[in-house]
Amino acid sequence: MLIRARILFAVLTSAAVLVAAPARAQFGVNAQGVNAAFIKLFGPHTNFTAKVDVQVLDKAGKDWLRLPGKIAALEEKLRFDVDMGRAVSKELPEFAINSLKQSGMNEVISIVRPDRKATFLIYPGAQSYLNLPLSADDAAAMQKGYKVETASSARETLQGKERVRSNVVVREAAGNAVLTATTWTAPELKNFPVQIETKQDNMTIILRFADLQLLKPAASQFELPAGFTEYQDMQKMMFGIMKKMVSGTPGD
């Protein structure tokens, strides 16, 4: 019953902008969580919390997915919270949402920890999490640092307020692009990007931020919960969760 819903996991737990090496998928929050370069889109703002509205448009420009969430950043660490039970999508039928809720997999917390060279996808309702090490390429690029290029800036009115639209490219030290996006920054919010847009294949992903707090979040928000079962493979985790639902014991 969860098979069809799994198609959306990469988007629902990713829901952000996207990363761009020419030979790689561009989701900046991909199946392995938020890409380590994603924080660079926020410029000097490395400590903040905000609500985020994620909108994914299909190739015809129509809504494919709408999902509210929360984001927090602490230096190079990132946390992204979503509840898939609140997702609106023509690809996510009600029975799939109910199945996710029943299994405890509807709430997903994605935490990127560059210091641990890993991303963690946490499922509080299932008391489980995925430990996903960064790829060798991502780890090497992160260690060498990223360069940010901003071009084609222009002033636009967005939702009745003046914004500065810019094309942003984040590159590895060697010069390869790892993330591309268009950002709309707000002068009254110290040029924080209140909207980010990118494309993946034929889809457009838009993130809109609200209730911004330019303050350090608690460090505890970026730690792993005690007592949860750790997995390093999505299929094994799902099998373990299903086994636990049936027998009441955690599966491996």
| Domains delineated in the chain | 3-144+202-236 (2.50.20)
- pLDDT of amino acid 229: 92
Residue 132 confidence (pLDDT) above 70: yes
Q: Which residue bears the tokens 């809720």? A: 101
Q: How confident is the model at residue 243 (pLDDT cuts 50, 70, 90)?
A: confident
Which pLDDT score is estimated for 248? 58
Question: Is residue 222's pLDDT more than 60?
Answer: yes
Q: If phi over 0 gives left and psi between -120 and 50 gives alpha, with beta otherwise, what is residue 229?
A: beta
pLDDT confidence band for 201 (50 / 70 / 90)? confident
Which one has a higher pLDDT value, 36 or 134? 134
pLDDT of residue 118: 87
**Residue 249, pLDDT score:** 53
User: Given this model, what pLDDT does residue 36 score?
Assistant: 65
Decide if 32 contacts 187 (C-beta within 8 A): no
183 within 8 A of 166, measured Cβ to Cβ: yes
Dump pLDDT digits (tens) for 61-117: 998 888 899 999 999 899 999 888 888 887 777 777 777 777 778 888 989 888 898
Helix (H) or strand (E) holding 68: strand 63-74
Q: What is the pTM of this model?
A: 0.81
Is the confidence at residue 197, as pLDDT, over 70?
yes
Query: Residue 195: its pLDDT value, please?
Result: 97
pLDDT on residue 20? 24
The arithmetic mean of pLDDT across residues 25-47, rounded, is: 64
Q: What is the pLDDT of residue 188?
A: 95
Please tell me the predicted confidence (pLDDT) of residue 16.
32
Mean pLDDT of 123-134: 89
Compute the distance between CA of residue 136 and CA of residue 139 in angstroms, rounded to an integer: 5
